[in-house]
């Protein structure tokens, strides 16, 4: 059995600051989406993932993996999104247990409507608080943390139309 590597006082201070910042940012983003778009942050992220997928379609198991969600929790969220008309399900023809989630035009429109306020909140609460150098450092730090968690860093850039608007209404954060 190895000895516990306790955090130094300085590391403890940084850990608590990091935790407070990430929880606070997540909470601010969730409140903004609920207030302005009437949707939970988790639903927004599902719509974003589907908007980026070919034909706006993902296998439910793949979507659960992308979202870091259990299949049952995702299934519940998809049921709510179906009720809103934003997503529909289609069975998998080669696997009777599998199914696909498909972003509808109505769901894409809801995402496009919610994206400007969400992007503004991300910009004001995160990027406007940092220097360009800090933004680069944040990217490097975030990728290092993802690697440490055993995941490949997810680098996603939206496809832009000629007028500069994101086709997918993506705001990856």
Q: Is the pTM of this model over 0.85?
A: no
In the prediction, which pLDDT does 4 show?
95
Distance CA 124, CA 173 (A): 13
Distance CA 25, CA 19 (A): 10
Sorted by where each starts, the structural domains of the chain and their CATH numbers stand as 22-148 (1.10.10.10)
- Kind and range of the H or E element at 98? strand 95-103
Which residues make beta-bridge pairs with 101? 58, 89
Q: Which two tokens stand for residue 132?
A: 């360009």
- Kind and range of the H or E element at 149? none
| pLDDT, tens digit, 9 for 90 and up, residues 87-144 | 999 998 887 788 999 999 999 999 999 999 999 999 999 999 999 999 999 999 999 9
Q: Which two tokens stand for residue 30?
A: 């969730």
Distance CA 98, CA 116 (A): 34
């Amino acid at each position: 059995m190895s000895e516990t590597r306790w955090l130094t006082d300085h590391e403890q201070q940084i850990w608590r600051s990091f935790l407070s910042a990430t929880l606070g940012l997540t909470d601010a983003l969730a409140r903004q989406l609920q207030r302005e778009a009437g949707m939970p942050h988790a639903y927004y992220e599902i719509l974003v993932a589907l908007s980026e997928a070919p034909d706006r379609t993902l296998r439910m198991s793949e979507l659960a993996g992308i979202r870091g969600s259990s299949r049952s929790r995702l299934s519940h969220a998809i049921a709510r999104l179906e009720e809103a008309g934003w997503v529909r399900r289609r069975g998998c023809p080669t696997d009777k247990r599998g199914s696909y989630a498909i972003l509808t035009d109505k769901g894409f429109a809801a995402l496009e409507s919610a994206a400007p306020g969400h992007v503004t909140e991300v910009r004001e609460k995160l990027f406007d608080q940092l220097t360009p150098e800090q933004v680069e450092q944040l990217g490097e730090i975030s990728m290092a943390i993802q690697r440490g968690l055993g995941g490949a860093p997810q680098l996603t850039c939206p496809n832009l139309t000629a007028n500069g608007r994101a086709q997918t209404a993506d705001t990856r954060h």
